[in-house]
Amino acid sequence: MAGKAITTIAAKKKMLLARAGKIDLPPIKQMAFGSGGVNDNGEVLELDAGQQELHNELCRKDIDTVEIINDTRIRYSCMINENELEDESISELALVDADGDLLTIKNFKTKDKDSDFSFTFKVNDTM
């Protein structure tokens, strides 16, 4: 089963206001990582577009790279280093803007983080 992702209402509201010239759109700055994206049976949870926090946030990290893929897709990458989130089970993440709002949330099957591995998470933001 594939992971599940949503664009939050907060993200849509900001895009609409920016298009109307009412606000400047704050850039995506961080990824938030959590362990609450699955139920007790390991099944990926449904998402709610009104959600503005992860179910069990573990940490936030600055985005490492931003890659323009094409006119409708940008890829954000963030690394969890060997010494970070040791023995945690990561199953949810979010793209977070400079205001601290969650814009895109993704739930996925659990990724167990051993102390001698680093993980790089890549998230595509598409229109």
pLDDT of 4 > 90? The answer is no
Helix intervals (H) in 20-115: none
Q: Is the pTM here over 0.85, yes or no?
A: yes
Q: Taking 60 as the threshold, does the pLDDT of residue 107 lie above it?
A: yes
Residue 2 pLDDT: 65
Q: Tell me the C-alpha distance between 96 and 105, whole Å.
A: 9
What pLDDT shows up at residue 102? Answer: 97
Q: How confident is the model at residue 3 (pLDDT cuts 50, 70, 90)?
A: confident
pLDDT at 58 over 70: yes
Residue range 78-95: average pLDDT? 96
Mean pLDDT of 3-10: 91
- Let me know if 22 is exposed, middle or buried by CB neighbors in 10 A (0-12, 13-18, 19+): exposed
> Which two three-digit tokens encode residue 121?
């998470």
Residue 43's SS3 state is coil
Determine the pLDDT at residue 110. Answer: 96
- Does pLDDT of 93 surpass 90? yes
- pLDDT of the residue at 127: 82
Mean pLDDT of the residues in the chain: 95
Instruction: Report the chain's C-alpha Rg in angstroms.
Output: 15
